[in-house]
Every structure is written in C-alpha cells, then in structure tokens.
C-alpha cells in the first residue's frame, strides 16, 4: 500500500455519489463496445480480454464497496471493479479533459457513452470472475464499510490499536471509506481530539463517534461530496457541496461553528503530508 493511499480522495461520499449517478446511466444497459484507452490501469486482465468481456454485456448492477465502484456484468461476464483512488472519476457528459479518458463504455439503444477519466493514473481497473472473488479481494484489504459498521464492531476494532484515532479511522483495514476530510469532520462532531489513542475512547465517546460517522457521511452524500481544486466532480462535472458548509476541514483560523475559537491546522503522527483541522476547545485532548 502506498503512503498516500489511506487518505486518498475521493472518499466514501464521493464514490457513493459517482455510483448513484452511474447507476441511472449504466444499470440495465447493454454495452455495445468497451473501449480501453489506457491498459496501464488494468489488473487481472489485458485490454483485449476486458474489451471482449464487455462487448455486448448487460450491466446488471452498479454498487459500491468502500471506495470501490463495482459493475456486475450479466451472462457470467464477471465483475468489473474500478478504484478511482486519488484522481479518477466518471463522466456522463463530455469530459473536460479528453486526454485523461482511460475507459469508455459505449452503450446501445439509445446510444450513449460513459467515460472513466483518471488525471494522474493512480486508480485501478480490475476484473473478477464472480461476485465471490471480488468480495474476497475486498475483504483481504478492507474492514467493514463505514456506513454499515456497527457500534460494537467499531469499538472492538479501535480497541486493538493505540494509534491516534484519526489515522485509525483512515485505515481502510479498520473500516472502509473514510479519508482525511471526513475523519476531521467526524472527530469534530464527536468532540474527540484527533491524537487521542484509538484504544483509549470511553463508551460514551464511541457512541458519539459511531453516530457522527453515519451522520457526516449521510450528509456529505446528500450534498454530493466534497470538491476542491481540480479534483473530484460529480458524473455531470459539477462540484460537490459539502465543503461549503462543513465544520473544520480547510477552515484554519476561522471561528469554530460551535464555540467561535479559531480552528487549528496541524500535522499529526502517522499521516504524511496530510493536514489535520480541529477545534482546541470542542475537541480537548483530555
């Protein structure tokens, strides 16, 4: 696993937004031609094999597992998993940067195209023979989905590590889907300092943390995720709305929405090159 991967954008809300947009465009549709423009992203199959499996296949389901986009092809054509990682995304409208197109799904009746673009080519496109093989591969590298994990399951997984709570929440093997932005937001809403050892949380704090994960992710999905710079866009090329109303991420020196103390920006152990934002009053260390 590369150093930046555990905190990669897009996170769960952005991938869920992609999946919802893709579902309306791809689910139940027949792929006339699956065009592979960049074989570099492929794992477990060649460009020729993938094109053959895609040609004439019906997309029977579009789902999400953690930060994976999962396309199930009918007639035993297998499972296509796309991991957008840092800079991948889908387009239902003509992509703004056509040189970054890596895959194109050309659909039949009516004709339409869905593009997968990846600016820095850090994403992956994997093929699995069936849903079981895909689920096994996911389980080897991930804990439960952040929207599905139970309170006690979360508590039990955090109790195993004395790392800071923020890097623990971002570890995809602990729970899948949370990265740098939503870890900061969740911890603010749960009123927990980001450097508290994960194993030191009291039962009431674990209650708040579990509730905050569900609430923040659900709110972010409703707002279609977080966009900044030239990064994530929805399938229609629009910016997500979460960072227009969030509590701490990117709000250095701005007043806390609860207590009005300035939000701090800092670096914490275990997170290379990723800033952490928190309120020193609302998220006291003790």
Positions annotated as catalytic residues are 10-11, 67, 274
Position among 46, 96, 200, 258 found at the interface with Zn ion (CB under 5 A): 258
279 is an interface residue for Zn ion by CB under 5 A:
yes
Residue with Cβ nearer Zn ion (160 or 261): 261
Phi, psi for residue 90 in degrees, rounded to 5:
-105, 150
3-state SS, residue 54: helix
259 is an interface residue for Zn ion by CB under 5 A:
yes
CA-to-CA distance for 171 and 84, rounded, in angstroms?
A: 17
The CB-of-285 to Zn ion minimum distance in angstroms stands at 14
281 is an interface residue for Zn ion by CB under 5 A:
yes
C-alpha 267: how far from chain center? 22
Position among 71, 117, 248, 282 found at the interface with Zn ion (CB under 5 A): 282
The CB-of-209 to Zn ion minimum distance in angstroms stands at 17
CA-to-CA distance for 81 and 73, rounded, in angstroms?
A: 11
Q: Which two tokens stand for residue 244?
A: 């227009």
Angle at alpha carbon of residue 49, lines to 234 and 141, rounded to 5°:
55
Stretch of 129-137, 167-175, 240-248, 256-264 contacting Zn ion, by CB under 5 A: 256-264
Residue 110 preceded by cis peptide, ω within 30: yes
201 is an interface residue for Zn ion by CB under 5 A:
no
Position among 125, 176, 256, 271 found at the interface with Zn ion (CB under 5 A): 256
Query: Which residues bind to Zn ion, rule: CB under 5 A?
Result: 256, 258-259, 279, 281-282
């Amino acid at each position: 696993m590369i150093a930046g991967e555990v905190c990669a954008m897009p996170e769960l809300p952005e991938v869920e937004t992609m999946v919802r947009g893709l579902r309306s465009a791809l689910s139940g549709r027949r792929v006339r031609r699956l065009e592979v423009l960049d074989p570099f992203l492929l794992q477990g199959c060649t460009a020729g094999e993938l094109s053959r499996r895609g040609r004439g296949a019906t997309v029977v389901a579009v789902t999400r597992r953690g930060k994976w986009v999962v396309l199930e092809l009918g007639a035993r054509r297998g499972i296509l998993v796309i991991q957008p990682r840092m800079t991948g995304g889908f387009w239902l409208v003509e992509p703004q940067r056509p040189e970054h197109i890596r895959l194109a799904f050309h659909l039949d009746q009516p004709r339409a195209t869905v593009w997968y673009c990846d600016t820095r080519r850090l994403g992956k496109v994997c093929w699995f023979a069936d849903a079981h093989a895909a689920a096994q591969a996911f389980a080897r590298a991930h804990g439960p989905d952040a929207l599905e994990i139970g309170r006690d399951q979360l508590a039990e997984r955090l109790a195993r590590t004395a790392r800071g709570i923020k890097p623990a929440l971002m570890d995809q093997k602990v729970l899948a889907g949370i990265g740098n932005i939503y870890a900061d937001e969740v911890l603010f809403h749960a009123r927990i300092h980001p450097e508290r050892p994960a194993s030191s949380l009291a039962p009431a704090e674990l209650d708040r943390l579990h509730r905050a994960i569900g609430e923040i992710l659900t709110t972010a999905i409703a707002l279609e995720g977080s966009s900044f710079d030239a990064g994530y866009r929805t399938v229609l090329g629009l910016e997500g709305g979460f960072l227009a109303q969030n509590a701490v991420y990117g709000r250095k020196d701005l007043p806390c929405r609860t207590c009005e103390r300035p939000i701090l920006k800092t670096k914490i152990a275990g997170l290379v090159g990723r800033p952490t934002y928190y309120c020193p009053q609302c998220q006291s260390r003790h």
